[in-house]
């Protein structure tokens, strides 16, 4: 089994897509209802509640605010910290070396979802 896609639901897909495009440096491809940013490991999709309902019918539950969390492995957490600070709405943790060796930082996207950037002690 391989996880290939993570989806965030947003009331403002274009705004969140622009933010993630800026954070990741990846092009956001799609529409105002559904867009994707494709990485080597998988896809981050951002969709509207309407788009989610079209796919899921009555099984869809409205997401709670601040309910998503996304992690990205990066080459240099400290460099990324300096790069994203000017446009990130809420920084939560500056670059810190964790007890297990990862160097990581945390911040929130414009919808309040948690984002972690981390570099393992021996990046691949």
Sign of the torsion formed by the C-alpha atoms of 22, 26, 54 and 3:
negative
As a whole-number percent, the residues of the chain with pLDDT over 90 amount to 69
Answer whether CATH 3.40.50.1970 is correct for domain 66-124. no
The 8-class DSSP code of residue 100 comes to T
Q: Does the pLDDT value for residue 47 go beyond 70?
A: yes
pTM: 0.84
Give residue 58's pLDDT. Answer: 57
Work out the average pLDDT over 12-26.
96
Residue range 1-59 forms a domain whose CATH class is: alpha beta
Which two three-digit tokens encode residue 60? 């869809």
As a whole-number percent, the residues of the chain with pLDDT over 70 amount to 89
Would you kindly state where each structural domain of the chain is located, as residue ranges?
1-59, 66-124
Burial class (CB in 10 A: 0-12, 13-18, 19+), 21: middle
């Amino acid at each position: 089994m391989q996880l290939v896609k993570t989806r965030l639901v947003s009331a403002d897909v274009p705004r969140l897509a622009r933010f993630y495009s800026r954070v990741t440096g990846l092009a956001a491809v799609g529409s105002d209802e559904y867009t994707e940013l494709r990485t080597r490991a998988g896809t981050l999709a951002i969709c509207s509640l309407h788009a989610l309902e079209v796919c899921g019918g009555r099984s869809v539950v409205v997401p709670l605010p601040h309910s998503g969390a996304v992690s990205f492995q990066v080459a240099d957490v400290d460099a990324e910290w300096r790069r994203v600070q000017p446009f990130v709405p809420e920084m939560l943790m500056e670059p810190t070396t964790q007890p297990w060796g990862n160097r990581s930082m945390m911040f929130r996207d414009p919808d309040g979802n948690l984002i972690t950037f981390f570099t393992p002690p021996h990046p691949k």
